[in-house]
Amino acid sequence: MATRPFTFAKDAEAFWNSLVESNQDPLGKSLLSFTAQWARTMEEALKKGATIEQIWIDTSIQVQDETRNILSGAAENQAIKILAQAWVHGNELQRVDAAFWRQ
């Protein structure tokens, strides 16, 4: 069994695997790679006591810089939608993102 890319939400691993299987083109792979690395980077910060609200923007920029994978706002929004379904902290990420854009 492959290493999990991040901590899945309950019953979300099959959803993630279906995305991986159906997104084999370069753009799809790039989006999923960013999404997984972003979740892992946020998990590392959360373990150190940070909150999603404190880190979500900075970690997105950090991962884009590290991977040289600069995403459009639409692609980053898609990553948030994926994480909302697949990641254990995804609902909180989606809530924080929505609150930010309502300001």
pLDDT-derived band at 2, boundaries 50, 70, 90: low
Residues 6+ apart with CB under 8 A from 26: none
Least confident of 2-6, 17-21, 67-71, 95-99: 67-71
Percent helix, percent strand, percent coil in the chain, to nearest 5: 75, 0, 25
Distance CA 50, CA 67 (A): 23
Strand partners, 87: 8
The whole-chain average pLDDT of the chain stands at 92
| pTM for the whole structure | 0.91
Q: Per-domain residue ranges for the chain?
A: 49-103
- pLDDT of 103: 81
- Does residue 85 contact residue 12 with C-beta atoms inside 8 Å? yes
Question: pLDDT by residue (tens digit) across 28-69?
Answer: 999 999 999 999 999 999 999 999 999 999 999 999 888 777
SS3 assignment, position 41 = helix
